Amino acid sequence: MKNMIKKGMALGLGLVVASKEQAKKMVDELVKKGELSREESKELVDQLVQKGNETQKELDQMVSKRIKELFGELNLASKDDIKRLEQRLDQLENRENKPD
C-alpha cells in the first residue's frame, strides 16, 4: 500500500509539486492519517521535490523547443538576424560616409 502511494504521488504529483513546502504539506497529511511514518515522510518529500524539479526542467525544455519551432514557422527575424542586418547597415553607412 505504501509503495503504491509513493509511486502514485511521485508520478501524479511530481508534475504539480514545485516546492518543498508544498510537498511537505501533502506528506504531513499522509502522516496525520497514519498512512506514512515520519521517517518515510522525509524520504517521500525529497523524492517529490526531485521529481518536481526534473519535471519542471523537462517542461521548460519542451516549451522552449516548441517556441523556437513556432518562430521558425512564422519566419520571424531572430536577434542574430537583426544584429547581422544592423552590422551590414553600419558597414554601408561607413562606406557611404568615407571620402573617395
Going from the C-alpha of 72 to that of each of 54, 59, 68, 78, 82, the distances in angstroms are 27, 20, 6, 9, 15
Element (H, E) at 34: none
The total number of residues written for the chain in this structure: 100
100 DSSP 8-state letter: -
Q: Which among 2, 1, 23, 3 is positioned nearest to 13, based on CA atoms?
A: 23
- The pTM of the whole model exceeds 0.75: no
Q: Is the dihedral of CA 50, 54, 14, 6 positive or negative?
A: negative
Which percentage of the chain shows pLDDT scores above 70? 79
* 22-60 pLDDT, tens digit each: 777 878 888 888 887 888 888 877 887 788 788 878 888
pLDDT given for residue 1 in this prediction: 44
Question: Which residue in the block uniquely carries the three cell numbers 517529490?
Answer: 48
Average pLDDT of 5-17? 55
Cell of 57: 526542467
